[in-house]
Chain A
Amino acid sequence: MSALLFLSKSSAIRAALLIQRWYRQYVARLEIRRRCTWNIFQSIEYAGQQDQIKVSSRNYCKSVKTVTLITHRNLISHIFRENEICRDVEWERYFCYKSIDVPDSYTGPHLTFPMTFCGVSKLVEAFKHKQQLHARYVLQILGETWRLLRILPNISHLSSCHTKEITICGDLHGQLEDLLLIFYKNGLPSTEKPYVFNGDFVDRGKNSLEILLILFGFLLVYPNDVHLNRGNHEDHIVNLRYGFTKEVLGKYRVHGKKILKLLQKIFSWLPLATVIDHKVLIAHGGISDTTDLNVIARVDRHKHMNWSVDDELKKRRRLAGFDQSYGERKKPDSDSDPDSLIPSVQMVDLLWSDPMPQNGCIPNEVRGGGCYWGPDVTEEVLGRHNLQLLIRSHECKQDGYEFCHNRRVLTIFSASNYYEVGSNRGAYIRMGADLVPHFVQYQASRTCRDVGWTERSALQALRRQLFVHKSDLISAFREFDPNNTGIISPSHWASATESVLKLGLPWRVLRPQLVSSTKNGMVDYQEWMKELSITEPKLEVTHFLLETMYKNHSNLETIFRIIDTDHSGLISYEEFRQTWKLLSSHLKTEISDDVIANLAQSIDFNKDGSIDINEFMEAFRLVDLSGVTPL
């Protein structure tokens, strides 16, 4: 009897062991899939970002050239209006909300000034219920915020205290659900509950403006306890590309332009960093080997550009007849700097840099601005300033936060599901007088472990990338297929694909999920290319043009919006033609006037001969007709 019991016990143990082993393997594989998906998103994002910065800065110069070509004076004044010699008083008149009436039919929240805690809470509730704030109140809040920001220093100094902890949040990127989740878990800002928001409040998500209004509201009510640091996305050029401009113009058709202008001023006046107890530095991007807080504290922060523009720009502006003299016309009662709008290296480094594992400090080519800094730079800079910790944001982290450089640098990121539902958690920091960070993580979605869904999105995004590089891919495949059989080996397929896309992804492993046309273990690339197709576009264009448009989808949109000077969402045929000329010279390809004319013709023109930007961009939708669907 006892022998039987003994036997059954030991087989139970063996069974348990086996199940445990299996389960741990299962979990490990899930984790690896998640990491793989993560890398796909990150690599596509960085590849896109790199391209964007290059195009943006080049287009900034080229727009000037185009301007002289077509003598479009509106364009000039639009782009360089920040150097207008308007006095602030004149600006205040321009931004005045008083002439705007709120109709009786308005069902959104009404605000009274000065702002109170009740007022802001009401605003939060209203946004929670998807109401929209009337333009009058928007301009009022923004006006008050602008006035307040102008008296704040570049670097805010806070003291921690035993009775209250400081809450520090990272990137929010227009994701209102995350901000509401933070407030729900942590409480609203107040004197007892100080907050630091570390930049990148806007772009990508669809509630950037609501987030700003809430943050500004709390700032107005508790100016000593709410601190906003500027991020690299608090910049009107970046906003053109990443969606904030579009959001504002979409929500406020009449007053959107004015709101954007005022926001431009506000962004330039946002403080740059926060220091707690002279020990913890909080800034959006990071540092470089030349970072000097004393210098940063003294710059005229509103007079400097947020992103890196090389000397080319200055040269081209001079060539185009726009020397910096318009900035030299001084305001009668101020000492304006003739070098307005030049980049400040210290500022750019603070807002754009990323940490790296190796020692040293090298230019950040992925972002196109700022640097990559190593652990030795961290030690040196923190040591020089007698600091013990650097808290920064700027990079998405799977768990919402991550330490590096011997736990001397902490990244905090508060936008959960940033790439896709299930991609990452968000987090915020609670810090008491001991200056030890405590983390709270969250994820604004139902399922947390839904790797399959996130994975499918990543693969979909990847397939889109493959499609737009079709021509280059075929050329690359042909190099491995001299006899033109249409078949290549999987490893050749992988090398060719990487050489074209340069995303650094494990193509051999991804192949089964991207390519179904295999014969005897070989890839039939011609068949595969047919699989990656799109729906019939409404426009009659050559494939080359189609591909060009897809490849440069975001660039096109950015250029359109730069040219659309009055933010009407419409551009004339002539401007449309100039856009294509600009793009074709950027791409070093020829797009003839005839082709452009045909393209324009086939677009559903509004009767007055202008093109609606949104309609044009929406005319293309990439639908995956291949039969390859992943698990």
Chain B
Amino acid sequence: MANVRGVELVPCHTVAGQQKGDRTNMAENSKSAEATVLNTKVLKKLKGAFQAFDTKSDNTVDIKEIGTIFYSLGFFPTQADLQKFTSEVEDERSGYIHWDRFLPAMTKVLLEDKFPPISDELLLQAFEVLDKEKRGYLEPEELTNYMTKEGEPFTQEEMDEMLTAFTDEEKKHIYYKDVIPHLTLERKM
């Protein structure tokens, strides 16, 4: 069995759901072999992340939340990765994913270490590639150009948010070396 990475997790319980709904024991439901591959600690973390988005208390989550679930578990999938994952586990285009299909698919992800985290150094290198003249910063227009035209483009909203959060107020530049610790500090939470 591969070394299962200790995953960071910040799950949320829906309080109302706990008081009103009748939650079936998920661990009991999954009698598949994959369930026994994961140790209880990791299983609990997956369960917690899943339950946080199971707003209808029926062991399903909206596919739109899959990205957030992945991120909360410490994975860094691309949008393409997410789409592939979703298409494999979605319940017949219902827009929802059931725990019974989620668990084996997630187990595979964990065992194969499919979406490893990105180190700070890699992130710094990435910024330096874009900063061709090695000024130590990027102009907002440059960053916008890259983020909205290349890779998996940002929406206008995402771009505006990023600029608001990371642009230095006085100089109007993005000093990426200062931004990186901010991003990685979040990860250690």
Contacts and interface: CB of A to CB of B under 8 A. Distances in A.
A505 interface: yes
Interface of A: 8, 11-33, 35-36, 38-39, 42-43, 46, 356-358, 362, 365-366, 372, 449, 503-506, 509, 631
B33 to A, nearest CB: 26
B151 interface: yes
Interface in B62-91: 67-68, 71-72, 76-78
Nearest to A510: B10
Contact of A22 (B125, B130, B165, B183): B183
Given A39-B12, A357-B55, A15 B130 contact: yes
B15 A503 contact: yes
Q: By DSSP majority rule, is chain A's interface helix, strand, loop, or mixed?
A: helix
A13 B151 contact: yes
Contacts of B10: 29, 32-33, 36, 506, 509
B13 A32 contact: no
A15 B124 CA distance: 10
Contacts, number: 134
B15 A43 contact: yes
A46 B158 CA distance: 34
A28 B68 contact: yes
Nearest to A36: B12
Contact of A16 (B57, B72, B122, B147): B147
A28 B151 contact: no
Interface string B107-132: 00000000000100011011101100
B16 A356 contact: yes
Contact of B118 (A22, A27, A449): A22
Contacts of B189: 29, 33, 631
Contacts of A43: 15
B126 A15 contact: yes
Given A16-B151, A32-B12, 14 more contacts: A8-B129, A18-B126, A20-B154, A21-B78, A21-B152, A27-B158, A29-B71, A29-B72, A32-B10, A32-B72, A35-B52, A357-B55, A357-B57, A509-B9
B150 interface: yes
B18 interface: yes
Most buried by B among A23, A362, A449: A23
Contacts of B156: none
A434 B173 CA distance: 47
A28 B13 contact: no
Nearest to A366: B19
B72 A23 contact: no
A31 B10 CA distance: 10
B56 interface: yes
24 contacts: A12-B130, A12-B146, A14-B129, A16-B130, A16-B151, A17-B150, A18-B123, A19-B151, A23-B154, A23-B158, A26-B183, A28-B67, A28-B72, A32-B52, A32-B68, A36-B12, A39-B13, A42-B16, A357-B57, A503-B15, A504-B15, A504-B19, A505-B15, A631-B189
B171 interface: no
B185 interface: yes
A631 B186 CA distance: 10
B147 A20 contact: yes
A8 B146 CA distance: 13
Contacts of B11: 506, 509
A12 B56 contact: no
B161 to A, nearest CB: 7
Contacts of A12: 129-130, 146, 150
Contacts of B55: 357
A28 B53 CA distance: 13
Contacts of B52: 32, 35
A544 B55 CA distance: 40
B20 interface: yes
B162 interface: yes
Contact of A506 (B21, B48, B186): B48
Given A29-B187, A503-B15, A509-B11, A17 B151 contact: yes
The 5 closest A-B pairs by CB, nearest first: A17-B151, A28-B71, A15-B126, A16-B151, A16-B150
Contacts of A357: 17, 20-21, 55-57
B186 A29 contact: yes
Contacts of A11: 129
